[in-house]
Amino acid sequence: MHCCCADWVSHLARDHAGRLAGVARREGVSAVDALDVVQDAFHTLLERTDVPSLREKPDDAARVLTAIVRNAARNARRRHHRAKPHVDVDEIGLSAAEPAPDIALDQAETTAQLATCMSKLGELHRHVVTLRVLEELSGDEAAEALGVSTGHVAVLLHRARKQLERCMTAA
């Protein structure tokens, strides 16, 4: 049974995606894997036969999503799920695909600083940055999701970027 209620799912995602990603992270998966786990959890939720009754009970839907995320994250971190095939030493190159430790540290510091700066933005500015920059929605799509005009989205994004720029250079 498939649910065709985009508004309900959008509302659930807006209200709970961040918290669900935190649940997955606490279960030991990486940030990228946590996002995958949350997305898969929403897909799993929509495949359930009791979706119509869950639509009437948003708190129950949130609890079911939390349980799905927790179980999926636990499965994702299990060793057999992450097992990688053995590679002959002669088949791999000597250069690492990962950045040098000092570069990785700089990137981690920048990421932490950006997260702090994002948290200082107002809710509407954060949503605009998330939709336009992170989710790569068009201005029209972001405007529709936020219920504002496309021009307003452009202004909000410009102001948010300026605030982020000031915050990043101040630190």
Q: Summarize pLDDT for 23-50 with one digit per residue, the tens.
A: 888 888 888 888 888 888 888 888 888 8
- Written as one string, the DSSP assignment of 53-90 is HHHT-HHHHHHHHHHHHHHHHHHHHSHHHH------GG
Q: Which two tokens stand for residue 130?
A: 């998330």
Q: What is the pTM of this model?
A: 0.45
Same domain membership, residue 112 and residue 78? no
Do 77 and 29 meet the contact criterion of CB atoms below 8 Å apart? Answer: yes
Residue 139 inside a domain? The answer is yes
CATH code of the domain covering residue 139: 1.10.10.10
Output 13 or 147, whichever has higher pLDDT: 147
Q: Report the number of distinct structural domains present in the chain.
A: 2
80-84 contacts, C-beta under 8 A, 24 or more apart: none
Would you state the pLDDT for residue 89?
A: 58
Is residue 1 over pLDDT 50?
A: no
CA-to-CA distance for 30 and 76, rounded, in angstroms?
A: 10
- How far apart (Å, rounded) are the C-alpha atoms in residues 52 and 55? 5
Domain that holds residue 32: 6-82
Share of the chain above pLDDT 90, in %: 18
pLDDT in tens, 71-117: 888 887 775 455 556 566 566 555 556 777 778 788 888 888 888 88
The residue behind tokens 């990962």 is 98
